[in-house]
Structure 1
């Protein structure tokens, strides 16, 4: 779905194309955002204004390898965009990168940098929340890695935009009991026990 932004139009690359580009990486990566929810649910159910790929911060330069020849722009500071230079290590606090094939092209891929501590993933908004890296993602039937559903919903819990509410409502039907328990606990820890999603999760049967 093509959309306009103050920094130019978005026309997200197809999921299959993104997967082909990142497949050669030997470091972890996952499809994130709404596409991750759809991969977990097993079918498409809404339009997407972008497509997100999550990498570990320590592996960030691998993105420049698989997107060689593209433009990469970092949200530094958040709410602005500036060129991400070749070989530059982005600091903590900068975790959002927009990518396009050239200056006259629309934005095609958004990169998100996640934190890791040894073999553990750490939630960047509250580092008390952690998971072993080998439990952070899943793999679709087509071999595409994506963020585990409960992890992706934790990220979406902060904003609760209309699309996030739709994702949560759709995903609630397929979350396992263990995933619901983890998500309830982590949303409560990060956002309080009265967060609407935590309330719905506790009532869900």
Structure 2
């Protein structure tokens, strides 16, 4: 299992000092949290890479996504049990009856029990247009949910690994390079070709080397 770099640890400490501490749920906890939510949801980020490769690395949290249009359904799902906060560009505000709208369809929702409790789930929202999954960075990239995600043997839905890696190419951190290296040999030829072309098109300065 890969440990976090000193830079990643420092970054996590910075955000914890600014916004409050995290005690993230593990994947089983997230599955339990989402149980009974009747709208689509899927795991993204490093956990999605783990599921595809069958290899584990250390994670600071589990990122799970829903369509931005389903935030009202999420609020109904959690009721009074959990507090939901909208986060975008460093700004935060609670989702309440007075302020039920998120900052935008590409913002995040953080979850905790109350003001003295740690954050437990990070929910990066996914824009949806006409019922289609829509890439938050490149709106021309759309698809049906069953085209851009897959369901593992554990019954959990995950974002396709090549799309996860395209998101990671934007930051190309140490952990993202590691995720590329362990995923690339397992991708189909078509997925490799799509990822290579997409990274070169959208992130021409990305240092990743494709083999």
TM-score, normalised to structure 1, is 0.86
Alignment CA distance shift 1:47-1:67 (3 Å): farther
- What SS does the aligned partner of 1:92 have? coil
Give, in whole Å, the separation in 2 of the partners of 1:131 and 1:154: 15
Give, in whole Å, the separation in 2 of the partners of 1:50 and 1:92: 22
TM-score, normalised to structure 2, is 0.84
Whether 2:78 is the aligned partner of 1:67: answer yes
Match of 1:154 in 2: 166
Give, in whole Å, the separation in 2 of the partners of 1:183 and 1:61: 33
Match of 1:145 in 2: 157
Match of 1:57 in 2: 68
Matched pairs, number: 197
Instruction: Tell me by how many angstroms 1:109 deviates.
Output: 0.2
Gaps of 5+ in 1: none
Match of 2:193 in 1: 181
Larger CA deviation: 146-155 vs 3-12: 3-12
Give, in whole Å, the separation in 2 of the partners of 1:140 and 1:94: 26
RMSD over aligned Cα atoms? 2.1
- What SS does the aligned partner of 1:173 have? helix
Whether 2:176 is the aligned partner of 1:164: answer yes
Match of 1:81 in 2: 92
